[in-house]
Structure 1
Amino acid sequence: MEIEVEMLKKIFKIIGIIVLVLILLFSGIFIYLSKNLNELVESRIQEIDPSELKDGTYVGEYSVPPVSATVEVIIEGGRIEDIRLLDHGNGMGQPAEAIIEDVVEDQSLDVDSVSGATYSSRVILKAIEATLIEAR
């Protein structure tokens, strides 16, 4: 009986240590992701004049875990003619994909984020920004 009680105590200690390690691990991941996503929201997006861009098809990407985007931008005659979203690792931010139409329509990255999909909106804009910088 004493051996069983001692064995149970050891098992509970091990389980307690494992639970504590998992809590610390997930807390660290949550803090890391929160910090990156907050920096994303506060980051500046450059305003780039499409008339200064070279014609061509350009691909760019941007990622802030857990959100990522890869875009293809077609520049013709100093205009953003089309933007294709090649990949969007979005979590819950799929509605943000509508922001692409706003960028093409306004010929500007100075557009409002899609409500409820701020992180995805910002990542898509940053991917487009990276592509336009390459097109200069």
Structure 2
Amino acid sequence: MFCTQLAHRIQNFLDTAVGSLGFCPISSVYDMAHRIGQIHFYRGVNFGADNWLVFKRVAVDQVTTGFSDTNSDPLQNGMTKTDEAMPNLYSDENCLARLGWNKLMTVIVREMKRGFLEEAMRNCKEEDNNVLFSG
């Protein structure tokens, strides 16, 4: 259940981010990602560098395959088909889509990390100040 909720939150964020492109300044997408990074800090959700890379890669792969769960075979226990029904990931059109999504996800991950790290630094400084003033 939690994984499904998390997947929907990620999907909603990406829908909002992509939907705002062309209508809102790109900085609004940066700000959303930055805020999500801050929220991750306060909820204690911490990722290593490899996790960020995996998140980005999987997001790009999922968005650009165009292959939804409705195409899964019930006999394969929910696993998606891997035969000729899968689109060619290296077609010209898909390469452009992957490039665009890769750039967008790079910025999103960068801003999420920045938001997380800024909150961590701010909390460290607050703790240091509390120790100085209470002592």
Which of the two has higher C-alpha Rg? 1
Q: If each structure's strand is expressed as a fraction of its own residues, which one has the higher value? A: 1
Common topology (TM > 0.5)? no
Q: If each structure's helix is expressed as a fraction of its own residues, which one has the higher value? A: 2
Give the TM-score, by structure 1 length. Answer: 0.26
User: Greater relative contact order: 1 or 2 (C-alpha under 8 angstroms, separation 6 or more)?
Assistant: 2
Give the TM-score, by structure 2 length. Answer: 0.26
